[in-house]
Every structure is written in structure tokens, then in C-alpha cells.
Structure 1
């Protein structure tokens, strides 16, 4: 049985997705951009966007009985090489001891102002 986690964001309904899906002992977290949680705007700094995205992902994982420490796959999408250079050290800090598999792509992100989007798959804590 799959359990879904929703944040209440309007796009979850309009685009038909869940923030996270728990499938057995695996938690899949949707691609998450780095909006500032207070202002709901995107910071100019890609590193700050990455930190915001990871905090949002960690909150969803914790609601699912997991955490970033349980990450097994990370997929990171950035808009350009400059954003990649800013985001890479943040990932290095967060995943230094965790070392999930990783995909890192430069591409367009649909949300205007977003410079990074991160998707995580994690195992569910025992």
C-alpha cells in the first residue's frame, strides 16, 4: 500500500502529484525548489535555494518516518553552470557522510526564479 504526503500547495492538485510517496520501505520525494519558506519567493542565491529545498525535503522525509540521512538517490537540476558551482558545496556539506547515488543535470526549471530543483529517494527508518 502506498501512502502519500501532501503539503497543500495548489500545484499538487493542478499538476496531480504528492510531495512524497511512501512505497513500502522507500520514500520518494518530488522535485523540490528552494522558495524561501517565509516570503514564498526565490532567493537570488542558488546555494540558499538548495538549502531551502533540502530543508523542505527533510521535513517531508521526517513526516514519512525517514530523513536526509536515509537518502539513497539524489537528483539535482540546476539552470546553469554558475548555479551548479553554487549548489555543489551545499550538497557536499549535507551528504558528506551519507553519500547517496547522484544525478546532476543542467536544464530548464519551470518555476520562474528557480535556479535549483532537488528530488530525493530515501529508505524508511526502521
Structure 2
């Protein structure tokens, strides 16, 4: 049985998705953009957006009984090379001892103002 975790954002209903799905021992977390959790706005800096993404992902993972420490795969989408350069040290800091696989792509992100979107695949806490 799959357990679905919701963040309560309008796009979940509009696009028909869950923030995370626990399927057996695997947790799949949807791509998360870096909105400020209080204002709902995107910070100007990509590194701040990345930190917001990872905090929101960690919240969802904790609802599934895990945390960022359980990350196995990290997929990062950025809008340009400057954003990639700003986000990379944040990933290095957060994942220094965790070392999930990592893919970073430069692409267009549909949310206006978003410079980064991150999705994670994790294992359930052992």
C-alpha cells in the first residue's frame, strides 16, 4: 500500500500529485521550489531558494519517518549556470556526509521567480 503525503499547496490538487509517496521502503518526493515558507515569495538568491527546497523536502521526509539523511538520489533543476554555481555549495554542505547520487539540469521552471527545484528519492529510516 502506498502512503501519500501532502504539503497542502494548491498545485497538489490542480496538477493531481502528492508532495511525497512512500512505496515500500522508498520515498519519492516531488520537485519542490524554494518559496519562503512565511511570505510565499521566492527569495532573490538561488542558494536561499535551495535551502527552502531542502527544508520543505526534509519536512515531508520526516512525515514519512525519514529525513534528508535517508536521501539516495537528488535531482536538481536550475534556470541558469549562475544558479547552478550558487546551489552547488548548499548541496555540498547539506549532503557532505550523506552523499546521495546527484543530477543537476539547467532548464526552465514553470513557477515565475523560481531559480531552483529539487526532488529527492530516499529510503525509509532503518
C-alpha distance in structure 2 between counterparts of 1:53 and 1:72, whole Å:
16
Question: Given the two structures, how large is their TM-score scaled by the length of structure 2?
Answer: 0.99
**How far does the alpha carbon of each residue in 1:53-82 deviate from its partner, in whole angstroms, 9 at most, with x for none?**
000000000000110000000000000000
Could you say what secondary structure the match of 1:73 adopts? strand
Could you say what secondary structure the match of 1:119 adopts? strand
Indicate whether 1:115 and 2:123 are aligned: no
Q: CA RMSD in A?
A: 0.4
Partner of 1:4: 4
C-alpha distance in structure 2 between counterparts of 1:4 and 1:74, whole Å:
20
Question: Given the two structures, how large is their TM-score scaled by the length of structure 1?
Answer: 0.99
Partner of 2:95: 95
C-alpha distance in structure 1 between counterparts of 2:122 and 2:81, whole Å:
27
**Deviation beyond 2 Å, 4+ runs, structure 1:** none
Partner of 2:54: 54
Could you say what secondary structure the match of 1:104 adopts? strand
Gaps in structure 2 of 5+ consecutive residues:
none
Report the CA distance between 1:100 and its aligned residue.
Answer: 0.4
Report the CA distance between 1:33 and its aligned residue.
Answer: 0.3
C-alpha distance in structure 2 between counterparts of 1:81 and 1:37, whole Å:
25
Q: May I ask how many residue pairs the two structures share in their alignment? A: 126
